[in-house]
Amino acid sequence: MEQLRSTDREIYELIKLEEKRQFDKIRLIASENYVSSAVLQATGSVLTNKYSEGYAGKRYYEGQQVIDQVERLAIERAKDLFGAEHVNVQPYSGSPANVAVYFAFLNPGDTILGMALPHGGHLTHGAKVSISGKYFNAHSYSLSRETGLIDYEEIRAKALACRPKIIIAGHSAYPRIIDFERFRAIADECGALLMADMAHFAGLVAGGAHPSPVDSADVVTTTTHKSLRGPRGAMILCKERYAAAIDKAVFPGIQGGPHNNSTAAMAVAFKEAATDEFKHYASQVVENSRILAETLIGHGFTLITGGSDNHLLLVDLTSKDIGGKPAAQTLDRAGIVVNYNAVPFDPRKPTDPSGIRIGTAAVTSRGFQEKEMRQVGEWINAVISEPQNDHLISEIAEDIAVFCRDFPPPGLTLP
């Protein structure tokens, strides 16, 4: 980045600081990962310079000979990877992708049914502070108070009562596998479209470590980062009969020209995700989550649902006499990065909730396995047990920085 350094030293220095942070800390944000050098290079390529409103072969600007090939390649690789009939790779991110689905099939005031935000759903699944909750008649389903699991009979009863046009199966903080066939049956019974949001676990689906919603759902949305290890972006997969509606909803419905550099980086990520190495990564993500859950439970931590079947854990810290926000802040000072998060039936406010959310995708990309995850669990326990012990926090941060040097992340060089 010599040109950047000479042009804008401030931004250069900030990027280098972020690079060091990503190298020296154990990143357990469930929605983060490390992309490969190849994905980074495609993201920073000259494709940034090209504007391409429309779709391959049907653009509103000339000079698309190369861009059309890039987008077609990304689409074909995504279709092959997930077994989808149709794929749109133009959404800028996950939230616009979900909004595009609503725009394709709903009118303002129509009814949708999704997982409640405090129970692990996403803002765009009908939260009142989101456009999905303001423009539509949003109903939500909750998790079981006794088990923390999805209650499919409750969903069925709510669906038959409110008759939604779209049911959303997906989450941002649910540590178990979703039964997409049960959702399909409920949607069919009440005459709804089934939309699956697999943004968090798409990489596990691609790697064969998680059931796919593609055959069950009418429409599937996903980001391309998170567990899929691609650039910041999104895509919509759907049955062929919905292709025209989805494409029109994305463009010209809610956005203009696609980010061609991101499209190219997606294509690279999809190629990487079709390899045996990626399959091993996906299975290791799940195993690492299981090992970390086991370690934390052994230290008396309360995990929602009692464990994990995917890449994330949701930890209720009530029994540890610390809120999620101060816990996340203290862990960050110790070199362990998580996010504070509400837990089901949380008595605390969303800005200062009872829990933290932990994900294992990024550390798995670094090469962490069972031994390393047990060590991470020990560090988390030590920090949460003595959050006021500044000496201990500093000592752990130093140990983690040294520890991380044995696990260089993809796409980064040793600071």
pTM above 0.85, yes or no: yes
| CA dist 192 → 110, 112, 139, 202, 380 (Å) | 12, 9, 14, 23, 43
- Where the chain has pLDDT below 50, the residues are none
Backbone dihedral region for residue 116 (phi beyond 0: left; psi -120 to 50: alpha; all else: beta) = beta
Can you tell me whether residue 200 is helix, strand or coil? coil
Catalytic residue among 12, 20, 50, 51: 51
Question: Which tokens is 194 given?
Answer: 């089934």
Question: Using the 8-state DSSP alphabet, how is residue 250 labeled?
Answer: I
Residue with tokens 């550390």: 363
Q: What is the per-residue pLDDT for 415?
A: 63
226 has catalytic annotation: yes
Active site residue 197: yes
Q: Which CATH class is domain 40-273?
A: alpha beta
Start-to-end C-alpha separation, the chain:
14
- Given 232, 239, 271, 279, the catalytic residue: 232
Among candidate residues 33, 26, 70, the one with its CA nearest the CA of residue 50: 70
Residues 246, 88: Cα–Cα separation, whole Å? 8
Return d(Cα 314, Cα 303) in angstroms, integer. Answer: 6
d(CA 149, CA 134) in angstroms, rounded, equals 27
Of 221, 222, 223, 295, the catalytic one is 223
CA dist list (Å): 47 to 4, 41, 76: 18, 11, 19
Burial class of 347 by CB neighbour count within 10 A (0 to 12, 13 to 18, 19+): exposed
Confidence at residue 210, expressed as pLDDT on a 0 to 100 scale: 97
Tell me the CA distances in angstroms from 93 to 97, 105, 142, 347, 399, one per residue in order: 6, 19, 26, 31, 36
Ranges in the chain annotated CATH 3.40.640.10: 40-273
Per annotation, catalytic residue among 19, 24, 32, 53: 53
> Cα–Cα distance between 239 and 79 in angstroms, integer?
11
Delimiting residues of CATH 3.90.1150.10 domain(s) in the chain: 276-404
- To which residue do tokens 């009814």 refer? 111
Residues 220, 84: Cα–Cα separation, whole Å: 9
Instruction: Please state the φ and ψ torsions of residue 358, each to the nearest 5 degrees.
Output: -125, 135
Active-site residue, from 27, 165, 184, 226: 226
Q: Which amino acid is at 331?
A: L
Q: Which of 71, 197, 309, 316 is catalytic?
A: 197
Q: What is the pLDDT of residue 147?
A: 92
25 an active-site residue?
Answer: no
223 is catalytic: yes
Topology (CATH level 3) of domain 276-404? Aspartate Aminotransferase, domain 1 (3.90.1150)
51 is catalytic: yes
**Is residue 170 within 8 Å of residue 122, measured between CB atoms?**
yes
Give the number of other CB atoms < 10 A from CB of residue 1: 12
